[in-house]
A and B are shown apart, each in its own frame.
Chain A
Amino acid sequence: GAGVSQTPSNKVTEKGKYVELRCDPISGHTALYWYRQSLGQGPEFLIYFQGTGAADDSGLPNDRFFAVRPEGSVSTLKIQRTERGDSAVYLCASSLVGGGAPDTQYFGPGTRLTVL
């Protein structure tokens, strides 16, 4: 079946602009995660949704970052007033259950964001 998909695959923007990154999880997966991977680093947790609600947003670096999942499926990560330091690959993952239960996360291919 279809895996996690993310759009766009690449996004180039200018400093100060607003961007939206989209994630389509695996159908039926209730949990959705966003991570950020800077060059040469491992992914870092940003936010986790259980259904429509953000169960844990402790990884969001500041209030310029926001994410939504209004219908419990597709999620959008929104970044306001982008800065050059926001340049990274943004990864989305989904899992069947979440809620603290130990289940496997399936990752999408990521969106490479470049802020000029």
Chain B
Amino acid sequence: GNSVTQMEGPVTLSEEAFLTINCTYTATGYPSLFWYVQYPGEGLQLLLKATKADDKGSNKGFEATYRKETTSFHLEKGSVQVSDSAVYFCALRYTGGGNKLTFGTGTQLKVEL
């Protein structure tokens, strides 16, 4: 079936550190891939997306590249800030699945001064 696997958290970093949150997927066809972020006390927000292989999604200094050969969509940021502390969810929308999303379990990021 279709599924998303994320690295477990929490991930704790110092401010200005480099961030990687791993995400791999299993899906039939050519899914679209997403990163959503959930800040404390807020709803899920779309952070970035990529709809085909080798696409790079980017937003707010975050980037992720759709790698079909490794079925991955790792989230990266060169220099994290305390305000980036949140839970990050990788998700896919698979071919033939309509517009519904399949999410990973989420990775909590804590950034400290």
Chain A residues in contact with chain B, CB under 8 A? Answer: 3-4, 31, 33, 35, 40-45, 48, 55-56, 59, 91, 93, 95, 98-110
Proximity bits, B90-111, A CB within 8 Å = 1, else 0: 0101000011111111100000
The stretch from B14-22, B38-46, B64-72, B77-85 touching chain A is B38-46
Count of B residues near A, CB < 8 Å?
Answer: 22
- Are B101 and A105 closer than 8 Å at their CB atoms? yes
User: Contacts of A55 on B, CB cut-off 8 Å?
Assistant: 98
User: Contacts of A35 on B, CB cut-off 8 Å?
Assistant: 101
The A interface is mostly helix, strand or loop, or mixed, namely: loop
User: Contacts of A44 on B, CB cut-off 8 Å?
Assistant: 103
Chain B residues in contact with chain A, CB under 8 A? Answer: 4, 32, 36, 42-46, 49, 51, 89, 91, 93, 98-106
Known: A33-B101, A106-B46. 9 other contacts (CB 8 A): A33-B100, A41-B106, A42-B89, A43-B44, A43-B103, A44-B103, A56-B100, A99-B99, A103-B99
- Are B43 and A107 closer than 8 Å at their CB atoms? yes
User: Contacts of B36 on A, CB cut-off 8 Å?
Assistant: 107
> Are A91 and B44 also in contact (CB < 8 A) when A48-B98, A48-B99, A105-B101 are?
yes
User: Contacts of A56 on B, CB cut-off 8 Å?
Assistant: 98, 100
- Are A105 and B46 closer than 8 Å at their CB atoms? yes
Bound-state Cα–Cα, A95 to B17, Å:
35
The minimal Cβ–Cβ distance linking A20 to chain B, given in whole angstroms, is 20
Bound-state Cα–Cα, A85 to B93, Å:
27
- Are A42 and B91 closer than 8 Å at their CB atoms? yes
Bound-state Cα–Cα, A3 to B43, Å:
10
Candidates B45, B98, B104; contact of A107 at CB < 8 Å:
B45
User: Contacts of A3 on B, CB cut-off 8 Å?
Assistant: 43
Instruction: Pull 7 A–B residue pairs with CB atoms less than 8 Å apart, ordered by A.
Output: A33-B100, A41-B106, A42-B91, A42-B104, A45-B101, A102-B32, A109-B42
Bound-state Cα–Cα, A101 to B51, Å:
12
The minimal Cβ–Cβ distance linking A80 to chain B, given in whole angstroms, is 24
